[in-house]
Each structure stands twice: as structure tokens, then as C-alpha cells.
Amino acid sequence: MNEAYLDDFRRLTVIVETKGKTPKAFHLRGNDEVAPLTIDTHERVGDRCKYTLSYAGFVFLNKRYVVEADTGQTMPLHSGKIVRTEAFDDLYAYDGGDLGHTYSPEETRFKVWTPIAKAIKLERVDANGTTYHDFRYDNQGVWSLTLEGDHEGARYRLHADVNGRMVIANDPYAIASTANGEYNVVVDQAKAFGENITPAPEFSGDPTDAVIYEASVRDLTSDSSLNLDTPSTYLAASRHGLKTPCGRPAGLDYLVDLGVTHVQYLPFYDFEGIDETNPQSEYNWGYNPMQYFVPEGSYASDPNDPYARIKELRQMIDAHHQAGLRVVMDVVYNHVYDAERFSLEKLVPGYAFRYDKRGMLTEASGCGNDLATERRMIRKLIVDSVMHFATRYHVDGFRFDLMGLIDITTMHRLRQRLENHRKDIIVYGEGWNIHSTLPDAKRTHQRNDDVVLTIGFFNDSFREAMKGSTFKLDVRGFALGGVSDTNVLERLLKGSVYRFAWPAQSINYVACHDNHTLYDKIQAAMPEVDEETRHRHQELATAMTVLAQGVPFIHMGQEFMRTKGMDENSYQSGDHVNRIDWALVDTHQDAITRLKQLIDMRKREPLFRLKSKPTINRAVQVEKTKQGSLLYQIHGENETLVVIFKPRLGTERLSVDREAEVRFTADANATLLDGMLTLEGIATTVLKGR
């Protein structure tokens, strides 16, 4: 088989079967011209010969070209590594805001970006059958089509002639879809998004004023005890009046009652891994993105109704806003579920992903591919889709999965766009320093925090120090009674400003959807202690998260001892593992009440929410007592807060300010008399003095 690929605008790679005669000369035929090609190198590989050729003219990528050898072989010229060159990005990057479809009752306009396609047809399906319509090439790699008349509700997909074969692809900028992404759908945006969403509740915009709570649309309402007709859906997550088995608030009402400010939901744009027509047959967290502008269909009442997807997601967000909660969207731009099936890969092969020196897809994400976020049209896709959810759905924040694989320029561009839209949107992510083909200095990881000043990072140092090792289950952190360095604990309680420019960059947490729940970790690390003692350690770890400087992040169920049965990676383990067991809320009301008190205290006391490194270094002191408890003191102009984190059983007496008063304690036996504080249990205690 003979092959010819364009490596850049001056070089080609040609592979020919020799079959006796070896070519000595080549020509390029296309665009009404024939031009000679210069042989730069050649090598024999078995019965084939590989040539690198150079060309002095210009190849129009949307035109058809053929390479001809003097031995009579001919081969169509396909795009190759050229799509990953800077020249390609510079020449074909499109800045317009009209990709996808633009509907009106009079006409619908379609625009698709693929510089290398030779032809594109729109397959349009409605009640009258299927028709096909030709796009015309404009410039900058954009193809356009205008259909007169009213096409609302029409299903469509793309048929593109790419590298010698017809591919069928979704529209990368489609905002609506039928079940399982079979077709995209033309929707009237005025109808879909015309209803007003309640403005987000008042928020300063400073992440240190947030208390973030991680949940899942599905897990929130999948427990059968709620007796819902439509469990695990946007509608269920919007419902008021849900109750635990003993009649306490559940679902959305529970989130409101807890007092958090932001609910971070696991991904809710279109992902693979679930049959949307039978969602209860499968389970997936949603870290398998495929359509970046389309809401996930398994959470909708009817996945084949594009308006249901859109309106029900908006209804969920509106219900949260009305209840005083903001919504953070978990987004995944480091990889896609299936590189070969990804629409942009079909339309522009080789462009969307990173490759190693051998020309193989990299997979630093661990998911088979890594999106090339540094390429201009991938960057545009990311920024445009985030802005779509910020403007159309009124999302209040974005959490980036494996953000360390995304380039800094993209994150800066995105942050600027969000700032121009609304200054109270928060942005944070997983800033793990993962080696990839993207240079270290260009990756958005937490060691580059000095150049990424307005974005937060999950603080794994806080997690490991307070809870203990995530991957060595027997290793205990401070909150579990383990041996910990006082200097390390001090730095972490100070919002990690020793490493971050602002405390707002430190997302403090001890558990999230990944890895074992906190309850399961403590069970594994402390098998010798009784259940009540493990609960006290769990409360202590959560209290340290809430009261430390920085941004507190709580995994749903952390406060009521949520377990996944030691399932360390439950991304597809089913509802029986992942569901919120609302009976646990009834069982652990005392622990929940104490967390509510701590959240309320944090929100009322500015000293727990200091804004700058100099202020924190001046105001905060941390030291250990002889018995191993931690004294965390915050000095204000007119008052001082003293927090005692006590990780071990046994009597401890501390001399304190005689005018101090106990503002909070989880120790039922704590006493304060004549300036002497006596503590007995594993607990957090907060004093307020002058």
C-alpha cells in the first residue's frame, strides 16, 4: 500500500511499495498544477521505501492532491504531522463565536472547523425522512451551510471526507443531543435558555469565604428510601421536601441545612460509560467526556428530548440558587473517553491530542490519551464550553480534573474570560505535577502557583498530614493520632502560604470522590480501636479542614461516616456502593450538628478567613502541647481565637486566658474553670478571648 502524508507546509513523507523499480522522482498534482518534489532522504524498510520530500509551493489543505512517482505509483496526499505544527495553528485558528449551529425560525446556519476536509455534508433527519446538504469552504478551516426555513428539532450529524475516507461525526460545538450522542439536535436557544435563572446568592468572590461540598447528581438521590419516581436525576436534585427514614432533611434540603456555600457536582456534561436509555443498568462517575457543550442525558427525564436535558439542568441550578447555594461544575479537559471516536479527532486527525517522539498517543492522564490544550482550537473549545456553562447555565465555579496536564496559557485565558463575565466565579483543580510532553514550566501544577495566582489547587500535603497516607492505609496523620511535624502542621494551618501566594489557592481537604472515603481509611488505619473512637478521629480531621486558613473542601458524607465498603475506586461500582445512605444522617445527627456549628463559626468569624500571606504570618501561631495536642491561635485586633485539636484520649489541662470563653467543643467532658481548660476526649475545642 502506498501512502503520502504532509508533515508541514514544505515537507512530505511518502512510503511506496518498490516491487522491483525504485522511484527516482516525484511530482505533486493538485489545484490545477503539477509541481516537482525534491527527494531529501530515503530508506528501505522491507519491500517498501520511505522518502522525505520537500516542496517549494503551498498546499491548500481543503483541496485534493496526489503524489506521483516516476515508476507510475500514485497516492493521495493526506494530512500528517502538519496539523501539529505552529504554522498550522497560526494559519487556521478561528476566533469566531459562531461554530456549531445558529437557529432562527427563518433559517439555521451551521459552521464546522476542519481545515483538512475535502468535503462535508450535513445529514438532517426529521419526521419527513433524511436529507443531505453540502457545506461550502470559507476560510481559516471553517465550513458553513445555511438551511432556509424552520429546522427546530431536526437531528443532524456530519459526514466529512477526511484523508480519503468518509467519517461520520458529531458537531464538536453542538449544545443538544439525542440519547448516547447518536445525533445532535437543532434547538431554539431562546426557548431553551430564555427562562431566567435566579441570580446566584451573594458571595464575595474570594474563595476563602467558600465552604465547598462535593456531591454527585446521581448519588444524592439514588437511595431507594427517598421513594422518588425519577431518582438520580437533575429533577431529583432540585426537589425540596425529601426526608431521611426518620424524617430529617435529605437531598437538596440537607445541603442547605448543613450551611455550605458551594456544591461541587461530579461531571454533568455528556459522558460515556452509561447507556442513557437505561441508566440504571450501569454506573459511572462521569470522567469520560465526549460532548463538551451537551448536558449528560442519563440525568434527564428523557435523554432523547434535548430541551429536557437543558431545562432540567438549569432547573437544578436554579433550585440551588433559590436555596442559597452556588454550584461548581467538575470539568475534565485533560483527556476524552475515546480518542478515535472524539469528533475533533475524526474531523482533524492528529490535532486534538499529544504525541510522543514515536508518533504514539501519550497517556499521562492514565486514560489512553491527553488533550493538547496548548493548541489554539482545543484551547478555544475549552474556553468556549466553560463560558457556555457559565453564561447559559449560570454555573458559579469550575473544578478542573488533572489540571496539571492543562497548559497555563489556557487557564489564564479562561480565568480572564470568566472575570469579565462575573467576578465571583471560583476556579480550582488538581494541580498534580504529572510528567507529559508539555514542558514543566507550561503546566498548571501547584509548583507553578507563582504564575497561576487566581486559581486554587487541591492541597494533597494537607490531606496526607491530617489524615495520613492515601495509598498506605496503615499510616496515620495527625488527626488519627499519628506522629506529625509541628512545623509542617503550622504551615498547613496557615493556608500553606509558605508555598502559595494567597491562602485562596489552598483547597484544604482530607477526602474526595477518589480513593477511600475518610471512614474507610480510618477503619483500615485503626482496626484496634472501637467505632466511637474512630468517629471522633473522623470529626477531628473534618474540623481541621473547616477551621484552617485557606478553602475548606468536604466530601459528601464525610460528616456522617460514609463508607464505600473499602472500595478504593468506585467510578463504576454501582449505586449500592456510591449512593448516599440517608439512614446514616439519622444515625450521626450529633456529628452533623457539630459540623454545622463549625461551618457557621467559620462564616461568622473573619479570623478563620484571613486573606493574605502577611496577615496570616502576623496573626497565626501554632504549637504543640506536651500531650501532643495542637494549639492553633489567631490574633485579631480586639480578640484572639484559640483552637485546640486534640488527637488522643486522656486528660489534658491547659492554662488559658481567664477571660476566655468556650465557643465550641466536641468534648462532652471539657471544662473551663479559673483559666484552666480540662479536656478528656479526641476533639476540637474553640476558645474566644481578648
DSSP code, position 609: G
Return phi, psi of residue 171, to 5°.
Answer: -75, 115
Measuring CA to CA, how many Å separate 632 from each of 203, 537, 549, 620? 27, 18, 11, 7
Sorting pLDDT into bands at 50, 70 and 90, what band is 451?
confident
> In the chain, what is the greatest distance between 2 CA atoms, to the nearest angstrom?
103
Q: How many CB atoms lie within 10 A of CB 302?
A: 14
- CA dist 116 and 76 (Å) reads 13
| DSSP notation for 59-125 | --TTS-EEEEETTS-EEEEEE-GGGGSHHHHHHH----S--EEEE-SSEEEEEEE-TT-SEEEEEEE
Return phi, psi of residue 651, to 5°.
Answer: -75, 135
pLDDT recorded at residue 541: 98
pLDDT at 20 over 80: no
Locus of grid cell 525534491? 38
Q: 62 is written with which cell numbers?
A: 481543503
Asked if 245 and 586 touch (Cβ cutoff 8 Å), the reply is yes
Mean pLDDT of 182-209: 96
pLDDT recorded at residue 68: 96
The rounded percent of the chain whose pLDDT value lies above 70 is 100
pLDDT at 306 over 90: yes
Asked if 144 and 171 touch (Cβ cutoff 8 Å), the reply is no
E strand map for 402-520: 426-429, 456-459, 506-508
Angle formed at CA 504 by CA 502 and CA 506, multiple of 5 degrees = 90
* Of 190, 437, 425, residue with least CA distance to 326: 425
pLDDT recorded at residue 37: 96
3-state helix, strand, coil in the chain (%, to 5): 30, 30, 45
pLDDT tens per residue across span 535-572: 999 999 999 999 999 999 999 999 999 999 999 999 99
Q: Residue 540 CA to chain centroid, in angstroms?
A: 28
pLDDT tens per residue across span 380-390: 999 999 999 99
pLDDT recorded at residue 77: 97
CATH code that applies to domain 3-79? 2.60.40.2320
- CA dist 147 and 594 (Å) reads 61
- CA dist 474 and 490 (Å) reads 24
pLDDT recorded at residue 19: 74
Any residues with CB less than 8 A from the CB of 624 and at least 6 apart, and which? 486, 489, 630, 631
Asked if 481 and 648 touch (Cβ cutoff 8 Å), the reply is yes
Q: Is 639 a catalytic residue?
A: no
Q: What would you report as the CA-atom Rg of the chain, rounded to the nearest whole angstrom?
A: 29
Return phi, psi of residue 535, to 5°.
Answer: -60, -40
Q: Is 401 a catalytic residue?
A: yes
pLDDT at 690 over 90: no
Q: How many CB atoms lie within 10 A of CB 44?
A: 10
Return phi, psi of residue 551, to 5°.
Answer: -120, 115
Q: Give 642's strand partners.
A: 633, 687
- CA dist 581 and 592 (Å) reads 14
pLDDT tens per residue across span 78-116: 999 999 999 999 999 999 999 999 999 999 999 999 999
pLDDT recorded at residue 589: 98
- Name the catalytic one among 209, 407, 430, 539: 430
Question: In whole numbers, what is the pLDDT of the chain averaged over residues?
Answer: 96
Locus of grid cell 475515546? 338
Residue 489, helix vs strand vs coil: helix
E strand map for 362-436: 397-400, 426-429
- Exposure pattern of 267-295 as b/e (b: 16+ CB <10 Å)? bbbbbbbbebeebeeebbbbbbbbbbbbb
Rounded to 10 deg, the angle between the 531-547 and 518-525 helix axes is 130
Mean pLDDT of 396-418: 98
pLDDT recorded at residue 257: 98
pLDDT recorded at residue 47: 83
Question: How many helices (H) and strands (E) in the chain?
Answer: 17, 34
State the CATH class of domain 89-169.
mainly beta
**Distance from the first to the final alpha carbon of the chain:** 84
pLDDT recorded at residue 1: 79
DSSP code, position 344: H
Locus of grid cell 467576578? 423
Q: What is the dihedral of CA 276, 427, 405, 430, to 10 degrees?
A: -80
pLDDT at 449 over 90: no
Asked if 135 and 110 touch (Cβ cutoff 8 Å), the reply is yes
pLDDT at 298 over 80: yes
Cβ-in-10-Å burial (0-12, 13-18, 19+) of 109 comes to: middle
Mean pLDDT of 624-651: 96
- Name the catalytic one among 401, 407, 464, 520: 401
- CA dist 646 and 624 (Å) reads 10
- CA dist 268 and 285 (Å) reads 9
- CA dist 396 and 200 (Å) reads 7
Cα atoms in the 13 Å half-sphere on the side-chain side of 651: 4
pLDDT tens per residue across span 218-255: 999 999 999 999 999 999 999 999 999 999 999 999 99
* Of 114, 88, 79, residue with least CA distance to 7: 79
- CA dist 176 and 310 (Å) reads 8
Please report, for the chain, the start and end positions of each structural domain, with discontinuous segments joined by +.
3-79, 89-169, 620-689
Q: Do domains 89-169 and 620-689 have the same CATH topology?
A: yes
Q: Give 165's strand partners.
A: 162
pLDDT at 44 over 90: no
H or E stretch including 643? strand 640-646
CATH, domain 620-689, list 2.40.50.140, 3.40.1710.10, 2.170.130.10, 2.60.40.1180: 2.60.40.1180
Helices (H), 161-285: 189-193, 217-220, 234-238, 252-258
Order of strands across the sheet that contains 100-103:
100-103, 107-113, 142-148, 136-137
Q: How many CB atoms lie within 10 A of CB 189?
A: 15
Asked if 570 and 564 touch (Cβ cutoff 8 Å), the reply is yes
Q: Residue 559 CA to chain centroid, in angstroms?
A: 24
